[in-house]
Amino acid sequence: MKPEPRNLLLAAFISFLAIPAGLRAQVKPETQHDFDCYIQSAEARMDARKPFVLADADSALNQKLVRGQKIETIAANGVNPHKLAGGQLYDWIGTVFIPGGSLDRLIRMLQDYDHRPQFFPETISTSKLLCRTGENHFRYTMQLKEPAVIDVESDVVWERVDQHRWRCRSYSTHTSEVGKDHGYLRRLYSYWRFEEGDKGIYVESETITLSDEFGSMARTFGSMLLGINPEKSLRHSLASMRESVLKPGLEIPTLPAGLAACGEAVRPGGCAVAGTQ
Dump pLDDT digits (tens) for 182-234: 899 999 999 999 999 999 999 999 999 999 987 655 545 554 445 679 999 99
Q: Where are the domains of the chain?
A: 27-245
Say which DSSP state 169 is in: E
CATH architecture of structural domain 27-245: 2-Layer Sandwich (3.30)
Alpha helices in the chain (DSSP H): 5-17, 21-24, 29-48, 59-66, 103-110, 116-119, 216-220, 222-225, 230-245
* pLDDT at position 26: 77
Category of 117 on φ-ψ map: left (φ > 0), alpha (ψ -120 to 50) or beta: alpha
Which of 25-34, 131-140, 187-196, 235-244 is least confident?
A: 25-34
Helices 230-245/103-110 angle, 10° precision: 120
pLDDT digits (tens, 9 = 90+) for 75-129: 999 999 999 999 999 999 999 999 999 999 999 999 999 999 999 999 999 999 9
* pLDDT at position 24: 42
pLDDT greater than 80 at residue 12: no
Is residue 53 within 8 A of residue 40, CB to CB? The reply is: no
* pLDDT at position 223: 46
* pLDDT at position 216: 57
Q: What is the largest CA-CA distance in the chain?
A: 66
Which of 168-172, 185-189, 267-271 is least confident?
A: 267-271
pTM (2 d.p.): 0.87
